[in-house]
Amino acid sequence: MADVVSAGEFRNGMTIEYNNGAYMVIEFQHVKPGKGAAFVRTKLKNVKGDGVIETSFRPNEKFDRAIIERKDMEYLYADGDLFYFMDPETYEQTVLNAEQLGDSLKFVKENELVRILSHHGVVFGVEPPTFVELTITHTEPGARGNTATNVLKPATVETGAVVQVPLFINEGEVIQIDTRTGEYLGRA
């Protein structure tokens, strides 16, 4: 039996079946106007990447929860616009194209574990590890003795992504990055 949720129970990050697709609630607001019935104003993101819609529901409207399967797989390599992943248990390979991935691999090195996301067997995305350690391949040299922590400079990491780091960080250093925000967390 499918798990059913009402619009009044929406929470950010929840996924529901709506309009013959799976949508993630990215924003919701309970509205109680002076006159008329209460409603829930929402922003829903199609998990298969077809954009964001804004719509309103009555708080008692019911929806099936969308079941998003998450499977740990190893990112093997990229070949042009194709990206290869392997199931570490069965050694089966999955190939995704750049359009399916967006920029979800910008902080992921080859041979790292990621989560492949699918809905009803259709793969639609990749969830990178929350925190990664990457080596800086290019940045301007830091000024000696400059330990200001609120001044940042751009630095390119080994995957090609650019992050903002403090002035005292130099090329060759390994840093920690939060992949959700692209934020520098510290030296590794």
Amino acid at 6: S
Among 83, 72, 20, residue whose Cα is nearest residue 46: 20
Give the whole-angstrom CA distance, residue 48 versus residue 182.
22
The domain containing residue 82 runs over which residues? 69-127
At residue 108, what is the residue type?
A: V
Query: How far is residue 120's CA from residue 126's CA, in Å, rounded to a whole number?
Result: 15
Answer with the one of 127, 154, 172 that is the final residue of a domain.
127
Residues 120 and 139 in one domain: no
Question: Of the candidates 99, 103, 79, which has an alpha carbon nearest to the alpha carbon of residue 159?
Answer: 103
Confidence (pLDDT) at 156: 92
DSSP state of 170: -
pLDDT of 163 reads 92
Q: pLDDT for 107-148, tens place per residue?
A: 999 999 999 988 888 887 888 999 999 999 999 886 665 555
Please write the tens of the pLDDT for every residue from 10-35. 988 888 999 888 888 889 998 888 88
Task: Look at residue 73 and tell me whether its pLDDT is greater than 90.
Answer: yes
* Beta strand segments in the chain, E: 4-6, 15-18, 21-31, 39-46, 52-57, 62-64, 69-79, 82-86, 93-97, 113-119, 122-127, 131-139, 152-157, 162-166, 174-178, 183-187
Same domain? For 104 and 143 the reply is no
Please tell me whether residues 53 and 73 are part of one structural domain.
no
Q: First and final CA of the chain: distance in angstroms?
A: 46
Q: Note whether 135 and 117 are same-domain residues.
A: no
Model's pTM, two decimal places? Answer: 0.70
User: Which CATH number covers residue 86?
Assistant: 2.40.50.140
Round the CA-based radius of gyration of the chain to a whole number and report it.
21
Asked if residue 50 and residue 24 are part of one domain, the reply reads yes
Counted domains in the chain:
3
pLDDT score recorded for residue 1: 45
Closest of 47, 174, 26 to residue 104, by C-alpha: 47
Does residue 162 share a domain with residue 122?
no
Q: Are residues 34 and 80 in the same domain?
A: no
**What is the reported pLDDT for 21?**
84
- Whole-number pLDDT of residue 122: 80
For the record, the structure tokens of 42 come out as 């929402």
